[in-house]
Structure 1
Amino acid sequence: MLDEIQKSAEERMQKAVEVLRRDLTSVRAGRATPAMLDKVTVEYYGSQMPVSQVASVNSPEPRMLTIAPWDKSMLGEIERAIQKSDLGLNPNNDGAVIRLIVPALTEQRRQELVKQVRKMAEEARVAVRNVRRDANDELKKAEKAGDVSEDDVRRGMEKVQALTDRHVGEIDKMTVAKEQDVLEI
């Protein structure tokens, strides 16, 4: 029973870390990356799909993305979706390929992005702590039900705390790395 609670907590903590990792890839640093378009969706045959599933997205230069849709009729739809997104980029459509020029970040915009990264990291830390709280509650319920001893509950809580510390440390490392990436000129 204790192992199940710990395994469940670890899986849920790992999911929180993975969500943060995926969210951080969408934060624009000084370079253009295809991951910037992960949250941009277009309507394709009646359903919303990410741009990367309807087109080839490449970064031929550090400040440029090219989007080559597999279906040329999707050019206008992709262009509109990029304009509606919160990326702040203007697509250049030449009839075959869409080019996105990523402007250099101003110092003020870099500071805003750092705040955004820190907010995402704090949300991930809160998610990990909530998992810890849930696991500890389950351990206490098991003790009250008489399924496990007080010593086992204490050891279980210590293991859950160790998991929490490890995952929060991983979140902190990712946050520092992304902040340095954003502040790099």
Structure 2
Amino acid sequence: MISDVLASAKEKMAQSIEVAKADFQTVSAGRANPALFQKLLVEYYGSPTPLVQLAGFQQPDARTLVITPFDKSALKDIERAIVAAPHLGVSPSNDGAIIRVVMPELTEERRRDYVKIVKDKAEQARVAVRNIRRQALSDLDKLTEVGDDEVARAGKELEAATKQAVDGIDDALKKKESELLEV
């Protein structure tokens, strides 16, 4: 029972780290990357749809991304969603068949804004890990057929796993932060 609770918590914490790393990829470091548009939702026939389901991506050079919609009628909606995305800060150009996005050179101020966004995402991931820990501790307390010593030992193991997960998030944050501040 205890091992099941701990294994579940550790698995969820590992998933939180991966989600945080994926969220970090959605913040630009001045290079065009399709991952920037991974979580961008487009209003398509009345329902929010991920952009990656509506279009293909090509990267002709380091700062340019070409978005080719599968349905040409969605072109304006895609363009509107890209303009409205605060974390991108780009102005797409639409030629009637494709959308060309040129990533601007990052100013020092914009880099600092991106670092703030990444720090917020990291804090959200840390909160998720702490919520997982809280739920696991609650599940451990509900176990009545095991001794208090075993629950206390499991609690210490859970704290170590939580610290390891938070450290993993912090390491990914430092790496992304240095990438963003690199000129």
- 2:65 is paired with a residue of what secondary structure? strand
What are the within-5 Å matches in structure 2 for residues 62-81 of structure 1? 62-81=62-81
Task: Report the Cα offset of residue 122 of structure 1.
Answer: 1.9
Listed as ranges, the gaps of 5+ residues in structure 1 are none
Query: Is the CA contact 1:31–1:62 (under 8 Å) kept in the aligned structure 2?
Result: yes
Task: Report the Cα offset of residue 46 of structure 1.
Answer: 4.3
Distance 1:78 1:16 in 2: 29
2:52 aligned residue: 52
- The alignment's TM-score, normalised by the length of structure 2, stands at 0.90
1:141 aligned residue: 142
* Root-mean-square deviation over aligned CA pairs: 1.7
Task: Report the Cα offset of residue 126 of structure 1.
Answer: 2.1
Q: 2:159 aligns with which of 161, 169, 172?
A: 161
- 2:18 is paired with a residue of what secondary structure? helix
| Structure 1 runs of 4+ with >6 Å offset | none
Query: Is the CA contact 1:30–1:181 (under 8 Å) kept in the aligned structure 2?
Result: no
Task: Report the Cα offset of residue 28 of structure 1.
Answer: 1.5
2:129 aligned residue: 128
Distance 1:132 1:5 in 2: 10
Listed as ranges, the gaps of 5+ residues in structure 2 are none
Deviation string for 1:96-145 (max 9, x for gaps)?
21101110111111112112212221221122122222222322332xx3
Query: Is the CA contact 1:32–1:64 (under 8 Å) kept in the aligned structure 2?
Result: yes
Q: Percent identity?
A: 46
- 1:173 is paired with a residue of what secondary structure? helix
- 1:39 is paired with a residue of what secondary structure? coil
What are the within-5 Å matches in structure 2 for residues 1-185 of structure 1? 1-86=1-86, 87-142=88-143, 145=144, 147-185=145-183
Deviation string for 1:22-46 (max 9, x for gaps)?
2111111121111111232223344
Code of the residue aligned with 2:23 in structure 1: it is D
Q: Count how many residue pairs are aligned between Structure 1 and Structure 2.
A: 182
Distance 2:101 2:28 in 1: 13
